[in-house]
Structure 1
Amino acid sequence: MVRIPVPIRAPMTRGRVRRGDANGPAGAPGARTPREAGSSSFGRGPVRRSFEGDLSAVSDFAPIHVDTAHGVDDGPRDDQQADSPNGPRYGHTKTGFGWQLLGVFAELLLTLAAICGLYIAWQMWWTGVQSEHLQQQQLQSVGWSDPAQGGQAKIAAPQQGDPPVQPQQAFDGDLIAQIYVPRFGDQWRRTVVQGTGAEELNKHGMGHYPDTQMPGQLGNMAIAGHRNGYGQPLGDVDKLQSGDPIVLRTKDYWYVYRYTTNKIVLPEQVDVIAPNPEHPGQQPTARMITLTTCEPKYSTPTHRWISHGELAYWAKGSDGIPKELSATDGSGAVRFVNNQTQSPMSKLSSLVPVMQVALLCYLVLFIAAAAAWRWPARRAIREGRVRRPAASIYGSILRLQPGVAPVRFLLLLILLVVSAAALLQWGFPWAATTIPYLRSISGFVTV
């Protein structure tokens, strides 16, 4: 910086100025004449003085900075240090209002995309986790024996004669049977409860049509299940092949059916679950099983996929397991092939405990960060040490958090996790049952 001599006018005087008044009384030792002092006798002449200090010492204006290469500048640049010990002070953001509005709109679009993705995760995954939890809970409540208990099993011999009917009757929500379909994998097992309402199909695996026959009864036992979401029990129904076993296990008996054929019908064609689906209105002549699910799989279910099977044989549960669910190792030992294990997430009855723990962690960390660092990001903006940022939804939430940057990001992450859990627990179930479009694609499949 180069110091510039600046002309400064001497103050005006009202009376005559005696010789020597410019620098003391006339005649005083060392007094100078007005000419020597550089002013007229009336104090109107300019006085040129070379100031060694900053011009701010004599002016209310900011000092003039001279760059010998680029001329005069009006203040410190963003990448320069000002003369002030606190560094440069910044004002509002340089981003225009239109760009800020566009940025906020982009954040809203990204948020909407994240919510849509989370809804798909809820539909495809979390509903299945909840259904698995309730199925395990119901199985434990009835106390049925485990076919794979002890790791070894024996093959139950097929029984002769008409099979027993079990159960004789049931109320909505009661456990009727467990169903196994080896074609769907050795991890596939679902419970069958009485009723085909949303409560039964969404939370308890598969539902038995109350007006159809019970396991082992002459006629048609019809079962409904989701093809997509809620554990998608019949998601692979199109993979069934002729002769594939469909096995039901009640409290005391096994019923082994064989898959025969399938058809795609309109929801109004309810004769597919009649006692004699091939000849509705006539007396049944066979013991059948019918599985109904939605079609198509990944969009609004305008039709129903119907799978039929016929009873091959029945066996006693106390005698062992059906050969269709068994395998023999090299030593001749028989084992139960279905090795479904409960997933860790399905042990949670809800996400409320997760949200409670997360909010507690957030509160403790928030208080600790506020005590240790307070709000450095907001303070820096307020003091002008950083430029005021552009408008941002998540940026504003982030700056409301106390502490240094890593702590603020962690606090924001906890808030996002709690928000996602709340959507999974309450938001999406409400939307799927209230919003017409979402309700239409939720996979409700009864006919």
Structure 2
Amino acid sequence: MRAPGIVHHRTRRRRALRRRVVWTGGEVLVTVGVLLMLLVVHQLWWTNREARQGAERKVQALEREWERGKSARPRESSPAVEGDGPVSGTPSPGREKQRQTRTGDSEGAANNTSPQPSWSQAYAVLRIPRLGLRVPVAEGVSKQNVLNKGYVGHYKDTQQPGRAGNFALAGHRNTHGEPFRYLNRLRPGDTVTVETEAATFTYVVDRTLPQTSARDGGVIRSVPRSTVRPSYGYTEPGYYITLTTCTPEYTSRYRLVVWGKLRSMRPR
């Protein structure tokens, strides 16, 4: 038979060991929780702060550069020509000719004064008044070199602003500046402007595709039309802009798409 004192001593040691294990486990869980909280703060606050400040500095740098270039060019007396409303349906021959003339003039100006942007280079400014958005546009959709800087990225092999076809862009909806956080708030008739060194292009929001596959390449084609939901999109060539971002928020499973049509071009 074991002595009662020895049994009591071993029981106390086991209880102390269990308390240490529980305490250590609690400390580990608290530490992990703090690290996760810091990670969330970094992703949701710090990356947004850094990206937004960097994007705003880039916008200001582009505007200063363009202003210096404008001051160095000789003044022209010919006034700018603007459109007379959203482009929709089949325009009359007169309006179509006028639109083609504006496009040709702007393309010529862009070709003469702005070389093809280098990969990841910021070369334009996107403005969306309804969202209070002013953000640089860079060539390509690289996360590290473009999107994570708070910029909007231009899809490779889609057209440049103001040219016939589709000027397609992508931007983060959450973290890293989240320029397209509220893209779902855009409505038909809202304006979207793209300013380059050569001209300012104004598009009018025309329609929205609330959700489609991340692999739906049809939405950024020259004549944009969803291959997943074919009832969304267009059937005729035109002058389009496409804005894409992830949906639902805080996921990257699907894509939200907003389309618009070119309304006017104003040379700088």
Of 257, 261, 264 in structure 2, the residue corresponding to residue 310 of structure 1 is 261
Kindly indicate whether the alpha-carbon contact (under 8 Å) linking 2:205 and 2:261 is maintained by their aligned counterparts in 1: yes
Per residue, is there more strand in 1 or in 2? Answer: 2
TM-superposition CA deviations, 1:29-55 (whole Å, max 9, x none): xxxxxxxxxxxxxxxxxxxxxxxxxxx
2:239 is aligned to: 287
1:243 aligns with 2:189: yes
- Please report how far the alpha carbon of residue 204 of structure 1 lies from its aligned counterpart in structure 2 after TM superposition: 4.5
SS of equivalent residue, structure 2 residue 243: strand
Aligned to 2:122: 175
The aligned residue for residue 193 of structure 1 is: 138
1: CA distance between counterparts of 2:172 and 2:125?
16
Q: What whole-Å deviation, never above 9, does each CA across 1:76-110 have from its counterpart, x for those lacking one?
A: xxxxxxxxxxxxxxxxxxx9332232222212111
Corresponding letter in the other structure for 1:256: T
Whichever of the two has the greater Rg, that structure is 1
What is residue 159 of structure 1 aligned with on the other side?
82
State whether residues 259 and 309 of structure 1, in contact with CA within 8 Å, keep that contact through their aligned partners in structure 2: yes
Structure 1: distance between partners of 2:34 and 2:80? 54
Shift of 1:140: 5.2
Aligned to 1:189, the other structure's residue is in SS state strand
- Contact 2:169/2:244 (CA < 8 Å) preserved in 1? yes
Q: Distance in 1 between matches of 2:56 and 2:152?
A: 13
* Match among 290, 295, 298 for residue 250 of structure 2: 298
With normalisation by structure 1, the TM-score equals 0.44
> What letter matches 1:179 in structure 2?
L
- Counterparts of 1:298 and 1:103 in 2: how far apart (Å)? 34
Separation (CA, whole Å) in 1 of partners of 2:226 and 2:218: 9
Structure 1 residues 203 and 105: alpha-carbon distance in aligned structure 2, compared to 1, 3 A threshold: same
CA distance in structure 1 between the aligned counterparts of 2:219 and 2:198, rounded to whole angstroms:
29
Distance 1:112 1:157 in 2: 60
Deviations 1:118-173 (A, max 9, x none): 21222222222232343344345543357xxxxxxxxx965363231334522211
> What aligned pairs does 1:227-238 form with structure 2 within 5 A after superposition?
227-238=173-184
CA distance in 1, matches of 2:115, 2:164: 13
Match of residue 65 from structure 1: none
- Are 1:138 and 2:94 matched, yes or no? no
Say whether 1:270 aligns with 2:193: no
Counterpart code for 1:251: E
Q: 1:279 to 1:241 in 2, by over 3 A?
A: closer
User: Which one has a larger percent helix, Structure 1 or Structure 2?
Assistant: 2
Task: Specify the alignment match of 2:40 in structure 1.
Answer: 120
The corresponding residue for 1:18 is: none
Native 8 Å contact 1:275 1:283 kept in 2: no
| Pairs within 5 Å for 1:35-184 | 96-139=16-59, 141-142=61-62, 143-144=64-65, 158-159=81-82, 161-163=101-103, 164-165=106-107, 166=110, 167=114, 169-184=116-131
Shift of 1:314: 1.4
| Aligned-partner residue type, residue 121 of structure 2 | D
CA distance in 1, matches of 2:194, 2:249: 25
Separation (CA, whole Å) in 2 of partners of 1:169 and 1:314: 19
1:315 shift after superposition = 1.5
- Kept in 1, the 8 Å contact 2:59–2:125? The answer is no
Q: Is the 8 A contact 2:155 2:168 kept in 1?
A: yes
Letter of the 1:181 partner, please give it. I
2:96 counterpart residue number:
none
Q: State the distance in 2 between where 1:180 and 1:137 align.
A: 15
- Please list, as runs of the form range in 1=range in 2, the aligned pairs for 1:252-263 lying within 5 A after superposition: 252-263=198-209
Number of positions where the alignment pairs a residue of Structure 1 with one of Structure 2: 210
Q: Percent identity?
A: 28
- Choose the corresponding residue for 2:149, options 196, 203, 219: 203
For 1:194, give the aligned amino acid: E
Unpaired runs of at least 5, structure 1: 1-94, 147-155, 318-447
SS at match of 1:290: strand
Return the structure number with greater relative CO, CA threshold 8 A, min gap 6. Answer: 2
* Partners of 1:180 and 1:248 within 8 A in 2: yes
Contact 1:193/1:204 (<8 A) preserved = no
Please say if 1:214 is aligned against 2:160.
yes
Alignment partners' CA distance in 2, 1:283 and 1:228: 32
What is the letter of the counterpart of residue 289 of structure 1?
I
Equivalent residues of 2:59, 2:135 under 8 A apart: no
Which amino acid letter does the alignment assign opposite residue 186 of structure 2? L
Partner of 1:374: none
Counterpart CA distance in 2 for 1:114 and 1:260 is 46
Q: CA RMSD in A?
A: 2.5
Distance apart, 1:297 and its partner CA? 1.0
